[in-house]
Amino acid sequence: MIKKPSLLAAAMMSLSVSFFVQAADSGYVAPRTEFGAPDLQGTWSIATQTNLERAERFGGKLVLSEDEAQRIEAAVRAGFEASNRPSDPNRQAPGSDNVGGYNTFWMDPGQRLAMVNGEIRTSIIVDPADGKLPYSEKGMENFRAAMTRRAGYDGPEVRPLGERCVVGFGSTGGPPKLPVLYNNNTQIVQTEEYVVLLAEMNHDARVIRMNADHAQPPMNYWMGDSVGYYEDETLVVVTTNFHKQQNLRSSLDHRFYGSPEMVVTERFTRTADETIEYQFTVDDPENYTQSWSGELPMTASGEQIYEYACHEGNYALPGILAGARRAEADGTDYAPTYSQ
């Protein structure tokens, strides 16, 4: 079933089509659901060592050779293996500025850099060509201010949403969907009227209304207001009206800032039995000098998605807030600042 997209969706689709090479060229045809749509159902992983933005060490290159990639991937794996070794029981206590955390046993950053269309990628961002977020001066100011607020401990409202168990860390639930250190699985369920994307982290369920219009009057939902339609082999999803507390998406090497009015257009195309090619374009004139786009493989996983039990027995947040109140009573400046 295909419905003519809205003017907004058509404009964003034009941006995507003008840049992306469509996966239909590969000749692969996805299996069909009982209502004739390309079947995207199952559990898929977006775990990858590729970062959102391209690091300077790649010299602007989007694509690496197999040998280059293997050296980088081996170094990352070696670092994780070293972190998993037993700690020295006689080591000195850490300084107050770095008390450490749990080891990497629980982490799943992916074994490889992202491979799209047979190319090993140095960044998720493919447009602009330099692999960098095209912040405007105002956008960078907004990003820096949000990072500084995030570093404060005044009250629970300024703690990250993932820490508060509202939505997952970073942008794991999307849109756009980006990797995090662990829990990178997404389960896709399709019906004729809805598509549900269930992100493993914080069990965020994004419900996409098919062949529908955005809510009127506009409602600012967690993860935005998503509507979708099928375009040949591709599920296209257009999302806007984000909750203002989701302006900052921050998870280590995958950070960006977006206004509630930004528009994210996603394209899910099954290019093989084991792969969905995930493409997205972000349009946010309030913070960027141009739209920006990314590509990421979603790989079939034989794993189940288990319950993400977030706050049971979590004493960290009360401890953080109690420490802040004590610092206030002592007249101590406890809030770190962000610098880039």
Establish if 1 belongs to a structural domain.
Answer: no
Establish if 72 belongs to a structural domain.
Answer: no
Count of the separate structural domains present in the chain: 1
Q: What element of type H or E holds 196?
A: strand 194-199
DSSP assignment of 217-238 equals S---BTT-EEEEEEETTEEEEE
Establish if 71 belongs to a structural domain.
Answer: no
Establish if 30 belongs to a structural domain.
Answer: yes
Cβ within 8 Å of residue 228, ≥6 positions away: 195, 208, 209, 210, 211, 235, 236, 237, 238
Q: Supply the Cα-derived Rg of the chain in whole angstroms.
A: 21
Establish if 64 belongs to a structural domain.
Answer: no
Spacing of C-alpha 104 from chain mean position = 20
pLDDT in tens, the chain (340 residues): 434 345 344 444 444 444 444 444 568 999 999 999 999 999 999 999 999 999 999 999 999 999 999 999 999 888 888 888 887 888 887 766 666 666 777 788 788 999 999 999 999 999 999 999 999 999 999 999 988 876 666 677 777 888 788 888 899 999 999 999 888 999 999 999 999 999 998 889 999 999 999 999 988 999 999 999 999 999 999 999 999 999 999 887 899 999 999 999 999 999 999 999 999 999 999 999 999 999 999 999 988 888 887 765 667 778 778 888 888 888 877 655 444 4
Cα atoms in the 13 Å half-sphere on the side-chain side of 243: 10
Q: Which domain holds residue 26?
A: 7-55+108-330
First-to-last alpha carbon distance for the chain, in angstroms, is 48
Establish if 337 belongs to a structural domain.
Answer: no
Establish if 45 belongs to a structural domain.
Answer: yes
Q: Is the dihedral angle over the CA atoms 304, 305, 307, 308 positive or is it negative? A: positive
Q: What is the pTM of this model?
A: 0.85
Dist CA 227 CA 70 (whole Å): 39
Residue 325: its pLDDT value, please?
85
Q: How many helices and strands in the chain, by DSSP H and E?
A: 4, 15
**DSSP 3-state assignment of 151?**
coil
Establish if 309 belongs to a structural domain.
Answer: yes
